[in-house]
Amino acid sequence: MTVHEQLARVETTLRDLEHAVLGLRSHLGTDVDVQRLVDDVERCSADLALLRAPARLPSQSRPHDLIVIPDGGYDTGLWDGADVDSEGLGVPGRRAP
């Protein structure tokens, strides 16, 4: 089951829960516990809307960035200079304690 299918299933179930809770409210009135249930369903609906945001959903056809590494040589100028000899060794002339 894909993410989109799961979200649709949750949305349908949440809609059914909302109808059931509103039915309870019509029978039981505005009791504190019933109102808490209504608030919980509203919060779940808001959370589901956040999960449905396009930035959160994985794209099914998102192309991957392709990094091309050339077969040819590299720029040997990268290895010129005085600091190349001590690369990774810290400051030249300094000794460990």
Contacts of 54 (CB under 8 A, 6+ apart): none
Binning pLDDT at 50, 70 and 90, where does residue 74 land? Answer: confident
pLDDT at 17 (0 to 100)? 94
Binning pLDDT at 50, 70 and 90, where does residue 82 land? Answer: low
How many Cβ atoms are within 10 Å of 92's Cβ, its own excluded?
A: 9
Binning pLDDT at 50, 70 and 90, where does residue 1 land? Answer: confident
The percentage of the chain sitting over the pLDDT mark of 70, rounded to a whole number, equals 72
d(CA 44, CA 41): 5
Burial group, residue 80, by CB count within 10 angstroms (0-12, 13-18, 19+): exposed
Could you tell me the residue ranges of all domains in the chain?
A: 3-51
Q: Which residue has the higher pLDDT, 20 or 86?
A: 20
**What value does the mean pLDDT take over residues 7-29?**
92
